[in-house]
Amino acid sequence: MSPDMFFLLASVLFSLGLVGVVSRRNLFVVYISIELMLSSINLILATFSKLSGDASGSAIALIMIAVIAAEAAMFLAIIVQINRLRGSVDSDDFNELAQNGGKNA
C-alpha cells in the first residue's frame, strides 16, 4: 500500500474521533473517540518512520501506546467513580457543577 492510503486512513480515523468528541455526551463514547484520535496519530508516526527509514517515529509511537494504556486505566477508574457517585456518565452533569459555581445543590 502506498503511504497516501495510510495518511487517508489516519485522517478518516482522526475525523471520526473528533466528531465523536464533539457530538456525544456519554463519557465512555468520548473516551473511545479520544483513543481513536490517538491511534490515528500513532499510525501517522509509524508511516513517517517507515518513509524516512528511521525508527524514531516507531519508538515515539511505542512510548505513546504505554502512556495511552496508563491514561486508560486512570480515566476508566474516574468514570467508574463518577458513575457510583452520580449514577450517570453523562457529561451534562459536569455543566451543572460549573453553573452552580462548584456548590452542592
What φ, ψ does residue 53 adopt, rounded to 5°?
Answer: 75, 15
**CB-hemisphere CA count at 13 Å for 84?**
6
Domain definitions of the chain by residue range: 3-99
Topology classification of domain 3-99: Helix Hairpins (1.10.287)
Q: Give the rounded percent of residues in the chain with a pLDDT score beyond 70.
A: 89
Given this model, what pLDDT does residue 35 score? 92
H/E run at residue 30: helix 27-52
- Given a cut of 50, the residues of the chain with pLDDT beneath it are 105
pTM: 0.78
DSSP category for residue 101:
T
Cα gap 16→34, rounded to integer Å: 10
Which residues neighbour 63 within 8 Å (Cβ) at sequence distance 6 or greater? none
